[in-house]
Structure 1
Amino acid sequence: MRSGADLELVHLTKRYGTALAVNDINHVFTNGTYVCLLGPSGCGKSSTLRMIAGHESVSEGQIVLDGHDISYLPPAKRGTAMMFQSYALFPHLSVRDNVAFSLKMKGEDKATRHRKADEMLELVDMGHLSARLPAQLSGGQQQRVALARALVTNPRVLLLDEPLSALDPFLRIRVRAELKRLQRELGITFIHVTHGQDEALALADEMVVMNNAVIEQAGPAREVFTAPRTEFVARFMGGHNIITLGDASYALRADEVRLAPQGHAATVRTVEYQGNHVAVTSAMGEAEVLALIPDHDFFKDPKNPGDAVSLAWDEGRLHRLQA
């Protein structure tokens, strides 16, 4: 077992009756990293997060933080803090008192807890609204208060359960940047559950992709995207084609496919303008192949559904998948 403030999952398992939600997973989250835990609904990512937080019991295995088994400690004694998707702010308490609430439960005096709450509110740029009630705040502002409340206990690990899902797209991108900045400034581990690949690619130092209650692949974000190990990871991350040649399957990034004078014969199915590129989906035998063509290249010789085309790619860009 590791020491240091790394968080380690050892043969971690969660059963609900006969259903297996998390199946014997082993993983080390390196201290001070931004980790995104992602996968489709029902893959086990939220159950894993809730077990780390102490909001869900462990069926088997251990959760080890800084060399200590925290699997059976109550949430407040673990050195972790959780920020919920719903924010769960107390409507009758001011912003400052919401943030200070857990310190009040620990018995800290009013002056100390207010000072700590104010420091955290400044960190998330909400100091000027400390006297307001949650109902007087926008969704993005409520979220920052929830973040300050989670951070005020000085956790070693912050757990975030789909924290951006309730925000509109513009705000989501802004808050995403703030989360990354905060994680770097604080130097603590963030474990962020999402099913959004874009969100994970933008934020994660490490991505942990789950499927069917196990970890399918983990590694740096760029590595998981450019070198998916399995067909599931390639399809889930998006932007890849799965091409079968002989008895092997390969992942091929859609931006590596081009329309060329010679190549594999195909018929255009759909054409979608997406701004800086055009998404052209073609039927190549039984397979459907997506090509992302830079818009200036596409419009030199535009194609329409039903057109015959030749698809080409550099053979060196085919990435072999595990069976």
Structure 2
Amino acid sequence: MRTPNDLELVHLTKRYGDTVAVKDINHVFANGTYVCLLGPSGCGKSTTLRMIAGHESVSDGSILLDGQDISRLPPAQRGTAMMFQSYALFPHLSVRDNVAFSLKMKGIDKTARYKAADDMLALVDMGHLAERLPAQLSGGQQQRVALARALVTKPRVLLLDEPLSALDPFLRIRVRGELKRLQRELGISFIHVTHGQDEALALADEVVVMNNAVIEQAGTARDVFGAPRTEFVARFMGGHNVIDLNGGRFALRADDVKLADSGHAATVSVVEYQGDRVAVTSKLGETEVLALVPEAEFYANPKNPGDAVGLAWDEGRLHRLLA
């Protein structure tokens, strides 16, 4: 159900000469939700984000926030704020002055802007480092400063362009938990661009999958993963097999495939140990089928490449694809 505070894209299009980067997108981002724009490189997700922010012009269509068309407004007047992948902190300014910079540009006095900056630094647990320069911070600390700087203007929508890509895997998991906590505490919309399926599934209230300049599918993380509509979504989200059966094309989750003494005759081609499970890829005719087998179950009856194996699944777990 739409509310007046939603962000809405109406027939949004971006062209670069003869190249269409974003094609006639229509979508409503519900107020106060965490949304991940997910897709491969070049699909149009970052261009969409930059048009919302005002850093790319709109070729056709409009962007509505609170019912107002903001697509021709300068970035500072849109009610949005953007956190860039590179963080783009000023190296010669302290952490506090970096966060307060946009307020200084708006003419807010030093006492008020420092108070606002300190409040935001406290929110991201960086208050104790307010006097440091960016070069004296770790990558994760710089990320939190950039986040505080984006939030200090109290935007209605925060836009994040692959904000975790520069972090190591351990820190990435910790920081994404902080992002989700902040979004819930602030109650504003976060729109987060990523090409990481795990990141989108972990963070998003809504996942919007883009491909070839259009939205391929949108829905809750569970719906998009559990019920992909197209072959592209099934393959891109991972964890699915795409199988032709009885003249139809189906998605089948890899954790629904069982190794059995009977069933569809196949030959094991790859075995990968993944800790709590083992990924077994088998050739079923010309089709590769992935089975994710619990570790204990696999080692009770281990398989090796070249072994004959039966593949079985509950027919009710087959999900018909639209295209």
Distance 1:2 1:30 in 2: 7
For 1:255, the equivalent position in structure 2 comes to 255
Distance 2:3 2:256 in 1: 43
For 2:293, the equivalent position in structure 1 comes to 293
The amino acid across from 2:188 in the alignment is: I
State which drifts further: 143-152 or 3-12. Answer: 3-12
Distance 1:283 1:195 in 2: 28
Deviations 1:116-138 (A, max 9, x none): 00000000000000000101100
The amino acid across from 1:133 in the alignment is: L
For 1:88, the equivalent position in structure 2 comes to 88
The amino acid across from 1:301 in the alignment is: N
Q: CA deviation at 1:246?
A: 2.2
Are residue 60 (structure 1) and residue 83 (structure 2) matched? no
The amino acid across from 2:204 in the alignment is: A
Decide whether the 8 Å contact of 1:80 with 1:157 is kept in 2. Answer: yes
State which drifts further: 240-249 or 59-68. Answer: 240-249
Decide whether the 8 Å contact of 1:180 with 1:203 is kept in 2. Answer: yes
Q: CA deviation at 1:262?
A: 1.3
For 1:166, the equivalent position in structure 2 comes to 166
For 1:99, the equivalent position in structure 2 comes to 99
Are residue 218 (structure 1) and residue 215 (structure 2) matched? no
Q: CA deviation at 1:3?
A: 5.0
Q: CA deviation at 1:2?
A: 5.6
Q: CA deviation at 1:188?
A: 0.2
Q: CA deviation at 1:260?
A: 1.1
Q: Percent identity?
A: 82
Decide whether the 8 Å contact of 2:96 with 2:131 is kept in 1. Answer: yes
The amino acid across from 2:159 in the alignment is: L
Deviations 1:103-157 (A, max 9, x none): 0011100000000000000000000000001011001000000000000000000
Q: Considering only aligned residues, what root-mean-square deviation do their CA atoms show, in Å? A: 0.9
The secondary structure found in structure 1 opposite 2:300 is coil
How many equivalent residue pairs?
A: 323
Are residue 72 (structure 1) and residue 72 (structure 2) matched? yes
Matches within 5 A, 1:256-295: 256-295=256-295
Flag as ranges the 4+ runs of structure 1 deviating above 3 A.
none
The secondary structure found in structure 2 opposite 1:183 is helix
For 2:184, the equivalent position in structure 1 comes to 184
The secondary structure found in structure 1 opposite 2:275 is coil
Q: So what's the TM-score if we normalise by structure 2? A: 0.99
For 1:153, the equivalent position in structure 2 comes to 153
Distance 2:205 2:26 in 1: 19
Distance 2:18 2:152 in 1: 39
Deviations 1:177-201 (A, max 9, x none): 0000000000000000000000000
Matches within 5 A, 1:27-66: 27-66=27-66
The secondary structure found in structure 1 opposite 2:235 is helix
Are residue 238 (structure 1) and residue 246 (structure 2) matched? no
Distance 1:152 1:198 in 2: 29
The amino acid across from 1:87 in the alignment is: Y
Deviations 1:283-304 (A, max 9, x none): 0011100000001000011011
Distance 1:158 1:270 in 2: 43
The secondary structure found in structure 2 opposite 1:25 is strand
For 1:175, the equivalent position in structure 2 comes to 175
Q: CA deviation at 1:60?
A: 0.2
For 1:209, the equivalent position in structure 2 comes to 209
Matches within 5 A, 1:133-148: 133-148=133-148
The amino acid across from 1:316 in the alignment is: G
Q: So what's the TM-score if we normalise by structure 1? A: 0.99
Decide whether the 8 Å contact of 1:2 with 1:66 is kept in 2. Answer: no
The secondary structure found in structure 1 opposite 2:43 is coil
Decide whether the 8 Å contact of 1:7 with 1:31 is kept in 2. Answer: yes
Distance 2:225 2:214 in 1: 19
Decide whether the 8 Å contact of 2:3 with 2:30 is kept in 1. Answer: no
Distance 2:5 2:122 in 1: 26
Q: CA deviation at 1:175?
A: 0.2
Decide whether the 8 Å contact of 2:87 with 2:143 is kept in 1. Answer: yes
The secondary structure found in structure 1 opposite 2:262 is strand
Distance 1:261 1:92 in 2: 67
Deviations 1:77-96 (A, max 9, x none): 00000000000000010000
For 1:117, the equivalent position in structure 2 comes to 117
The secondary structure found in structure 2 opposite 1:262 is coil
Distance 1:157 1:247 in 2: 46
The secondary structure found in structure 2 opposite 1:299 is helix
The amino acid across from 1:84 in the alignment is: F
Where structure 2 has 5 or more consecutive residues not aligned to the other structure, the ranges are none
